[in-house]
Amino acid sequence: MLQGKTAIVTGSTSGIGLGIARCLAREGAAIMLNGFGDAKAIEQLRKDLAAEFKIKVGYSAADMSKAADVAKMVADATRDLGTVDILVNNAGIQFTASVQDFPAEKWEQILSINLSAAFYAAKAALPQMLSRNWGRIINIASAHGLVASEHKSAYVAAKHGLLGLTKVIALETAKTGVTCNAICPGWVLTPLVQKQIDDRAAAEKIPVAKAKQELLAEKQPSLEFVTTEQLGGLAVFLCSEAAAQMRGVALPMDGGWTSQ
């Protein structure tokens, strides 16, 4: 379905981003990976994806907190892969503390990577999408873009902001072939969430398996994690003609979290 298209997926060397990149690649899209990690491991991942799906795969080490890096990533993808047709803004970080104890530098860092980076990337990619009258911008928000939890002020603020940005881009492109939507995952068993589970187990002196079930029971009525494959499938759908009139929508995939 996506042969001849190119997708940038930020934060795609692991977790949700990698799952989405794999699903887009399966549909024939060339992929620009982005993220941190061991250089040799990332190069192997790049080669493996290219071989498995018979597509071009690039990699950008762009720091999502820097506007110039983000713009260069889009330029590099255009130069090396031909175009940027699909932009998945997925890169994100987390830190938890009460508002009064939240370090100012962590607030700035989370807002920068989880929100500002999506603005920078969209700003850089939109001109060529509009010139071709086709494009898909998919912002990976969170259930925390729709509801809040304690001790996550920066993350919740950034994800709520990302949904606002999604709506503005959707309105500004409403009469074109470019769409912008958001996906709002609940708990997904990524390295980021696994760290929260491990920290909880250590703090409460309980087995990791029990900490995992407690985490799900607090928020996610299905008591099952959302999978990266499921999120990738939704991203593929948003790239399809069937989703051409979905504009500015925040789609929860959260096991019932935001239905409560």
Q: Which residues are catalytic?
A: 155
- Core vs surface per residue 87-112: b (16+ CB within 10 A) or e: bbbbbbbbbbeeeeebeeebbeebbb
CB distance 91 to 111 below 8 Å: no
Please calculate the CA angle 51-183-12 and round it to the nearest 5 degrees: 30
Please report where in the chains the tokens 């989703």 appear, as a residue: 243
Q: How many residues are there in the chain?
A: 260
Residue in 3, 251, 28 with CA at minimum distance from that of residue 143: 251
